[in-house]
Structure 1
């Protein structure tokens, strides 16, 4: 795992933990959003908005229906932030 990837994953985890008021250590890549303590639709929206601001990205509205785990969300953020598939994005 590169330093940028680790930093992004850690920052996403910290955003989630802060919004839910839980220790970051309780959040793993396999954690399902709907099973995290304190999660509701407004909290998920706040997590998305804070993530967009932190990484200067735009996350599609349907992401709450597609993404189920924290790991999937981290991968989406890395992709949108340009850390994954840089060549594929350039070819588009």
Structure 2
């Protein structure tokens, strides 16, 4: 699995699109998660759970709560990966 920012962004957008019944093209890196169509806490937690499983990572609960945008989720994955490989 690739941990480049572009690859992680693609995965985050794909997971959000699948969970929210959108296309990945409808989701921008700057979009606020709570403003995406059909987004609610349960659906967003499912996306986070899939990211944790796909990347074999575990995110800190506080960091998850602090993620406001799609870019924040990407940064969360990249930071967790960096921390796990130290």
TM-score by shorter chain over 0.5? yes
Equivalent runs, 1:9-24 vs 2, <5 Å: 9-24=9-24
TM-score computed with the length of structure 1 as normaliser: 0.79
Contact 2:9–2:74 (8 Å) recurs in 1: yes
What is aligned with 2:73? 73
What is aligned with 1:48? 48
1:12 offset after TM fit, Å?
1.4
Count how many residue pairs are aligned between Structure 1 and Structure 2: 84
Unaligned runs of 5+ in 1: none
Cα RMSD for the two superposed structures: 2.1
TM-score computed with the length of structure 2 as normaliser: 0.84
Compare CA radii of gyration and give the structure with the larger one: 1
What is aligned with 2:35? 35
